[in-house]
Amino acid sequence: MSKLELLVRRYEKFCALPWERSLAGPQRVWFVVYDPVDERRLRTRLPEFGEATTNSGHKWSHVDITDDFGCWVAAQEYRDSYFECPEDIDTVLPQFEQELINKVRAALEGGDESTIVAVSGIGSLFGIISVASLVQGVAPSIRGRMAIFFPGSFENNNYRLLDAKDGWNYLAVVITSHEGGDAQ
């Protein structure tokens, strides 16, 4: 069985567990961690995660943020100057971050206590904004669960996006394809 098949099975098993209703927003976040080299294969299997969700009696909502930064930059008045002098974009990145938070927050608020809002395309944020700041910005709006499909690694309670950036420790549930990968 492939790593992604195992990941879908472990995800489905986790979905089927009873959900604690009194958890705070940050505790309702699931990181579905997979090897970055499997990004394309995982994307083709996202419908299986949706099916696993509905099979466990929950609702599925998917938000893909892969193209959001590129579309946002393309719409900026000074986009050409950002390409000439990339450090200038740092002054407007908080605007992009807020727009992204608003998009994910709207998806979360569209669900109920039985909805899993899945967020894919997280790797596209690398070097732009932190995943932790996105999660922090949307956590109060999580009614059911938010599953973040995370291309990277998880070791010693530390997440590393794309296995490259220094990681962070976060209060969330981790789902991996290997035994002992779930935490909480």
Q: By three-state DSSP, how is residue 34 classified?
A: strand
For 53-66, b/e burial (b = at least 16 CB within 10 A) is: beebebebbbbebe
Please give the C-alpha separations between residue 5 and each of 41, 66, 81, 150, in angstroms, as whole numbers.
Answer: 11, 23, 45, 16
pLDDT digits (tens, 9 = 90+) for 75-95: 988 878 877 887 888 888 999
Residue 154 is predicted with a pLDDT of: 75
Q: Tokens 């938000």: give the residue.
A: 63
| Position with higher pLDDT, 12 vs 85 | 12
pLDDT of 180 > 80? The answer is no
Q: Is residue 75 part of a domain?
A: no
* Residue that the structure tokens 């209060």 belong to: 171
Give the tens place of pLDDT for each residue, 33-74: 999 999 999 999 999 999 999 999 999 999 999 999 999 999
Rounded to whole angstroms, the Cα distance separating 82 from 88 reads: 6
Domain annotation covers residue 83: no
Do the Cβ atoms of 118 and 49 come closer than 8 Å? yes
Does residue 179 carry a pLDDT above 80? no
pLDDT for res 181: 47
CA 25, 164, 32: angle at the middle one, nearest 5? 35
Is residue 123 domain-resident? yes
- pLDDT for residue 160 is more than 70: no
Report how far Cα 84 is from the mean position of its chain's Cα atoms.
31
Count of structural domains, the chain: 1
- Mean pLDDT for 139-164 is 82
Q: Is the pLDDT of residue 167 over 70?
A: no
Q: What is the pTM of this model?
A: 0.88
Report the mean per-residue pLDDT for the chain: 87
pLDDT at 85: 80
pLDDT for the residue numbered 173: 78
The CATH number of the domain holding residue 110 is 3.40.50
Residue span of the structural domain in which 152 resides: 3-11+27-66+92-175
pLDDT at residue 10, rounded to an integer: 94
% of the chain residues with pLDDT over 90: 60
Residues 97-108, mean pLDDT to the nearest whole number: 97
Indicate whether 84 belongs to any domain: no
Is 156 among the domain residues?
Answer: yes
Q: What angle do CA 175, 176, 178 make, to 5 degrees?
A: 135
**pLDDT value for 88:** 80
pLDDT at 121 over 80: yes
The answer to the question of residue 112 being in a domain is yes
DSSP state of 19: P
